[in-house]
Amino acid sequence: MKPAALRAPESTFAPSAPAAIPAPRLAAAELQGDTPALRLVALLEHVAARDQFHTLQGLAQATGLPKPTLHRMLQQLEAAGLLQREAEGRHWGAGARLRRLAESLLLNSSLHGARHAVLRRLVDEVGESCNITALAGCEVVYLDRVETAAPLRFYLHPGSRVPMHCSASGKVFLAQMAPAQRRRLLGAAPLEACTPHTRTDLAALEGELARVRAEGCAYDDEEFLPGLVCAAVPVPPAAPGARSALCVAVQGPAVRLSRDKLVALLPQLRRAAQALAGLETSENHSPDTPP
């Protein structure tokens, strides 16, 4: 299926690759809380706030705490699986248990019911299966999905994981990353050719991601599964200049969804993305939460 040379309007991306979002500086007072548990949580928040590995020296400079104290805290978090050592043991990053915790919060959020209602309404409008996705390490995880009633469809359940480089949502997340982060994720191993249409050349994929940034949407043209096509848009982040943490996407068989049809569905996708963003905003500013 040959892609049509069409430009999608209302891009939510900046014209060029965004710079990494600076992490807030953590004062030593924040790590000297009422209990040891709260101090460990504060250190976890600092490590998770930025996409990088942290050295003991860097953490000491950021917090003002003595290195022996920090080292003891890091060892406790590493033993619990919340942090893990990288780069010959001299750097720390998020551990598998911390990532699972973040994914569980997204999958089981109190917003799930409201999100599902938005997704159900979108499926009723477009007549195809739709999903909400998030980034999970080097993969894309389906937080929610509503299937079309059409007899010909692909079943991908909530919790399913797909590769970043050959999925529409994955391309949206990749396009938002700083080049160094993208190289770290994509350069660790050869890109898997899931189908004959999968882009396995980094230069070709970078060219596709430049288009994604310019147009604010991404496509999967039978790159993950033969016969399956997809379009995805980012859910606008709450803070200006921040990266989107969620995508909303439509999927269907190639025999029913041409590229022109996918482009025609972008306004409905973007309306759903705005509705999802509104849910996040209303949750953050609920009557029980100070504005």
pLDDT at 27: 45
The DSSP call for residue 164 is S
Could you tell me the residue ranges of all domains in the chain? 32-97, 109-284
Q: Are 43 and 73 contacting, i.e. CB atoms less than 8 angstroms apart?
A: yes
pLDDT value at residue 12: 44
The fold of 32-97 is Arc Repressor Mutant, subunit A (1.10.10)
DSSP symbol at 148: -
**How many residues are recorded in the chain?**
291
* pLDDT value, residue 170: 96
- Residues 262, 117: Cα–Cα separation, whole Å: 22
pLDDT at res. 80: 82
Alpha helices in the chain (DSSP H): 36-48, 56-63, 67-79, 96-107, 112-126, 168-176, 179-186, 202-215, 259-264, 266-284
Q: Give dist(CA 130, CA 122) in Å, integer.
A: 7
Residues of the chain with pLDDT under 70: 1-34, 49-52, 87-88, 103-111, 281-291
Q: Residue 51: what pLDDT?
A: 60
User: What pTM was computed for the model?
Assistant: 0.64
CA angle 31, 35, 36 (to 5 degrees): 65
- What backbone phi and psi angles, to 5 degrees, belong to 262? -60, -45
Residues 6+ apart with CB under 8 A from 271: none
Q: At what angle do helices 56-63 and 36-48 cross, to 10 degrees?
A: 110
pLDDT at 88: 64
The DSSP code for 27 is: P
Condensed to tens digits (0 to 9), the pLDDT of residues 153-192 reads 787 778 888 999 999 999 999 999 999 889 888 887 789 9
Looking at domain 109-284, its CATH superfamily turns out to be GAF domain (3.30.450.40)
- Euclidean distance between CA atoms 233 and 216, whole angstroms: 7
Angle at 91 between CA 86 and CA 93, to 5 degrees: 70
